[in-house]
Chains A and B, each alone.
Chain A
Amino acid sequence: MTDLMSRRRLIGGLAASGSWLAACGRIDQQAPVPQLLDAADGFTLHAQRLLIANRPLVRELSPAQISSSFPMNGTTLPKADYYKRLLDTQFRDWSLRVHGLVERPLGLSLAQLQALPSRTQITLHQCDEGWSAIGQWTGVPLAQVLALSGLAKSARYVVFHCLDKIDLDGNYYYESLDLFDALHPQTILAYGMNGKPLPVGNGAPLRLRVETQIGYKNAKYVDRIEVVNSLQSIGKGRGGWWEDFDHAVWYAGQ
């Protein structure tokens, strides 16, 4: 079911529809229709930001409510040799890079991340496909990592570059948040799940939990955090893999 679910979204299949993607690129630049879609998404973003200006916390659940099984959606094992080597050494040689519009670019090993003050939360994960599951996540608040690196004045978005290639055309997964969602107290870089180290299928060594958002914003296998002023230069410019290749809306908060 796991790989299947990520593929379900790719009706027609990327492999079979390179020309379709090219056509979409054309549509993006010319037709007003996708612009209308993005305008509606922008409207949703501003309306919701008015509603949640006080940054309310999402509901946290009790240990008894944790799902006995938690779907592993999207990539469940990154295929690159690089990832296999990291896995063999239990991510000892891996470090999270933080760069871009920051005052101090950082490289933080898993041990260093785990030494920072942590947050543990039991929350409801929702996939845009419709299913949901409850898990417990332990990690370091993203706000804390960004405070360590310091943000340049022009910083507006936080981009997550991942270790997994979700499709066949060689693109690594990527996602992005604006500072409002990035600095939310429940937005954490999780290295633990249900009291254990984060499983490979759920995004080891590090995944994003952004509890105010839908599934695909919660990037797995986070390798590098880039702070930018605009999403134009990221991928095809819509801010994330699904946004670029499936026309998903960037502000998925609904």
Chain B
Amino acid sequence: MAATEPTVLPDVDYRHPLPVRVWHWANAVGVLALLFTGFLVFDIHPHLYWGDDGHEGMPAFLSLTGTGLELPVPQTDLAIGDHHWNVTGWLGSVIDDGFGGHYLLAFSAPADWDFGATRGWHFAFGWLLSSSLLLYGVYLLASGRLRHRLLPVPRDLTLRNIGHEIAQHLRLRRTRGAAARDYNLLQKLSYLVVIFGLIPALILSGLTLSNAITAQFPDLFLLFGGRQSARSIHFIAASLLFLFILIHVFQVLVSGFFNLMRSMITGRFVVEKESLT
């Protein structure tokens, strides 16, 4: 058992080499700025469609609409497919347009928000996200870190281990001892999905919204099933990434906040001794 040999192993691991830490924080800044500006862009047309054509009056599979916007308490309705929810007070913020009319935003925006700049910032941070992902991807492959740290090893994939990990996660049990030196299977899989699935899907579906890009690469329309489908997938992937961040931050909070933060800032991670109590 690993617990019987803690004296053989050093207490501190140099867990995250510099490229990992630089990427992590560059990516964190990029993703947060993109989520913020992206949801503000969504705000202005809170409807999701499928195919190429999509505008007001066309069937949307997700839609936020408001009624009685001029009333003291306007009603807002969230529709997903055929299901409707009255989300008054939860989603939907009504803003005076300055011309005597009112309109609905999904979330509230700053009073002096300028939409044009929001969109511009979204692209600016898109460069940060995509260039840092590209560099990190090269690093992961070239350094062998992908194989050594992220790809599951055979012992991860035994039924017994999978069941054990799920139980440990559900009980919010902190990993200690030798097992804490490596990422566990669920951790590996979620990082792989984010790095090789969600972020690339976000970049590609975002590029599909550009007329100039699709002029050169029309197959992007085939890949995503149309312009509006690409926009919808962009928002769905962004929502999943947001969900990942919530879980990620929660786990950092419950699994030793200072140790984990230190490891992502200085690289050094203290391996806690396994306790049997």
CB of B220 to closest CB in A, whole Å: 10
Q: Select A132's contact among B52, B97, B114, B127, beta carbons within 8 Å.
A: B52
B-contacting 9-mer, from A51-59, A140-148, A191-199: A51-59
Q: Select B113's contact among A12, A14, A127, A253, beta carbons within 8 Å.
A: A12
Contact between chains at B120 and A10 (CB < 8 Å): no
Kindly state whether residue A171 has any CB partner on chain B within 8 Å. Answer: no
Contact between chains at B116 and A44 (CB < 8 Å): no
- Closest A residue to B45 by CB, please name it: A130
Contact between chains at B210 and A253 (CB < 8 Å): yes
Kindly state whether residue A1 has any CB partner on chain B within 8 Å. Answer: yes
Contact between chains at B55 and A71 (CB < 8 Å): yes
- Closest B residue to A9 by CB, please name it: B115
Report how far A61 CA is from B226 CA in the complex, Å: 12
- Given the complex, which residues of B lie within 8 Å of A248, measured CB to CB? 114-117, 119-120
- Given the complex, which residues of A lie within 8 Å of B110, measured CB to CB? 11
Given the known inter-chain contacts A52-B215, A130-B41, please indicate yes or no for A249 contacting B55, CB distance below 8 A: no
Q: Select B45's contact among A43, A131, A242, beta carbons within 8 Å.
A: A131
CB of A52 to closest CB in B, whole Å: 5
- Closest A residue to B221 by CB, please name it: A59
Report how far A17 CA is from B215 CA in the complex, Å: 39
Q: Select A7's contact among B41, B99, B120, B213, beta carbons within 8 Å.
A: B99
Given the known inter-chain contacts A20-B112, A249-B123, A254-B210, please indicate yes or no for A4 contacting B57, CB distance below 8 A: no
> Please, what's the 1-or-0 string for B90-122, where 1 marks a CB less than 8 Å from any CB in chain A?
000001111101010000011111111101110
Contact between chains at B123 and A40 (CB < 8 Å): yes
Q: Which of B180-238 contact A (CB under 8 A)?
A: 206-207, 209-216, 218, 221, 227-228, 231
Given the known inter-chain contacts A247-B117, A248-B120, A249-B116, please indicate yes or no for A130 contacting B42, CB distance below 8 A: yes
Contact between chains at B123 and A4 (CB < 8 Å): no
Kindly state whether residue B44 has any CB partner on chain A within 8 Å. Answer: yes
> Please, what's the 1-or-0 string for A124-153, where 1 marks a CB less than 8 Å from any CB in chain B?
101111111110000000000000000000
Report how far A57 CA is from B216 CA in the complex, Å: 8
Given the known inter-chain contacts A11-B113, A131-B45, please indicate yes or no for A48 contacting B98, CB distance below 8 A: no
Contact between chains at A7 and B211 (CB < 8 Å): no
Contact between chains at A41 and B123 (CB < 8 Å): yes
Report how far A43 CA is from B124 CA in the complex, Å: 9
- Given the complex, which residues of B lie within 8 Å of A37, measured CB to CB? 117, 120-121, 124
Contact between chains at A71 and B99 (CB < 8 Å): no
Kindly state whether residue B56 has any CB partner on chain A within 8 Å. Answer: yes
CB of A119 to closest CB in B, whole Å: 16
Q: Which of A152-199 contact B (CB under 8 A)?
A: 168
Contact between chains at A254 and B52 (CB < 8 Å): no
Kindly state whether residue B53 has any CB partner on chain A within 8 Å. Answer: yes
Kindly state whether residue A65 has any CB partner on chain B within 8 Å. Answer: yes
Contact between chains at B53 and A134 (CB < 8 Å): yes
Kindly state whether residue B54 has any CB partner on chain A within 8 Å. Answer: yes
Kindly state whether residue A8 has any CB partner on chain B within 8 Å. Answer: yes
Report how far A23 CA is from B227 CA in the complex, Å: 37
Contact between chains at A15 and B215 (CB < 8 Å): no
Q: Select B215's contact among A7, A59, A130, beta carbons within 8 Å.
A: A59
Given the known inter-chain contacts A71-B56, A248-B119, please indicate yes or no for A11 contacting B214, CB distance below 8 A: no
B-contacting 9-mer, from A95-103, A206-214, A229-237: A206-214
Report how far A148 CA is from B109 CA in the complex, Å: 48
Kindly state whether residue A67 has any CB partner on chain B within 8 Å. Answer: yes
Q: Which of A20-75 contact B (CB under 8 A)?
A: 20, 24, 34, 36-37, 40-41, 43-44, 48, 51-52, 56-59, 61, 65, 67, 69-71
- Given the complex, which residues of A lie within 8 Å of B120, measured CB to CB? 37, 40-41, 247-249
Contact between chains at A246 and B116 (CB < 8 Å): yes
Contact between chains at B124 and A36 (CB < 8 Å): yes
Instruction: Add 20 more A-B contacts to A56-B215, A132-B52 (CB < 8 A).
Output: A7-B101, A8-B44, A9-B114, A11-B110, A11-B112, A11-B113, A13-B99, A41-B124, A51-B213, A52-B212, A59-B218, A69-B55, A128-B119, A129-B45, A130-B45, A130-B47, A211-B211, A246-B114, A246-B117, A254-B209
Subset of 17 A-B contacts with CB under 8 Å = A5-B56, A10-B99, A34-B117, A37-B117, A40-B127, A52-B212, A69-B55, A71-B55, A128-B119, A132-B228, A212-B212, A212-B215, A248-B115, A248-B117, A249-B120, A249-B123, A254-B206
| A contact residues vs B (CB 8 Å cutoff) | 1, 3-5, 7-17, 20, 24, 34, 36-37, 40-41, 43-44, 48, 51-52, 56-59, 61, 65, 67, 69-71, 124, 126-134, 168, 211-214, 242-243, 246-249, 253-254
Task: Across the A-B interface, give the 9 residue pairs with the lowest CB-CB distance, nearest first.
Answer: A13-B98, A248-B116, A40-B124, A247-B117, A246-B116, A254-B210, A130-B45, A249-B120, A131-B55
